[in-house]
Amino acid sequence: MKFTRTKIPEVVIVEPMVHGDDRGYFVETFRADKLEEFLGYKINFCQDNESKSSKGVLRGLHYQLAPAAQTKLVRVIQGRVLDVAVDIRKGSPTFGKHVAVELSAENKKQLLVPRGFAHGFVVLEDDTVFAYKVDNYYSPENDRGIAFDDVEINIDWKIAHSELNLSAKDKVQPKLDEAVDMFEYGVNYYA
């Protein structure tokens, strides 16, 4: 596995080794020991999630507050998405900045989105299957979000606004400067 830090160093691209021949391929999609060695801290994934969506579906930007904060390891099994992580740690030198990475069944890339970041993705191809691991269970009372179209964050979703398909919840999320519940830079949310 290859691990690459992005322009926000806590957000990491994971590229598994693909072993293929005329029969197909084999890929090891997750190795806790290698990931933890690279990161320098332990991750205990406890839940796997999967969604199937059509082109234009945008899910996000979501996060959970402590004590239910989540690290996510996301990937695409079928199709293609633009995956986005936004730093929402107040006081961080990269607060409000984002990383956007195309994940696809073809490139097999994954994105590690740590605690302290909002996460979202837009589907770039019909019948896309998106899968991810989380290190904390879903907690409705700690569930929060940020507006996907906040001009201060300035995400290019690669699809026209008029073609996006959002949930009712995601249409009314607050802008980053209006969100009251976030994270503080320098706090260890893994303790």
Structural domain contains residue 143: yes
Q: What is the pLDDT of residue 190?
A: 86
Structural domain contains residue 191: no
Structural domain contains residue 190: no
Q: What is the pLDDT of residue 133?
A: 98
Structural domain contains residue 88: yes
Q: Domain containing 79: what range?
A: 2-184
- If one counts the domains in the chain, the total is 1
Q: What is the pLDDT of residue 191?
A: 73
Write out residues in the chain with pLDDT < 50, as ranges: none
Q: Per the residue annotation, which of 63, 98, 119, 132 is the catalytic one? A: 132
Q: Is 119 among the catalytic positions? A: no
Structural domain contains residue 8: yes
Q: Per the residue annotation, which of 62, 63, 98, 119 is the catalytic one? A: 62
* Prediction pTM value: 0.95
Given the structure tokens 């249409």, which residue do they identify? 171
Structural domain contains residue 166: yes
Domain with residue 19: its CATH number is: 2.60.120.10
Q: Is 189 among the catalytic positions? A: no
Structural domain contains residue 155: yes
How far from 185 is each of 30, 43, 88, 117, 179, CA to CA, in Å? 28, 19, 9, 11, 16
Query: How far apart, in whole angstroms, are the C-alpha atoms of residue 44 and residue 135?
Result: 5
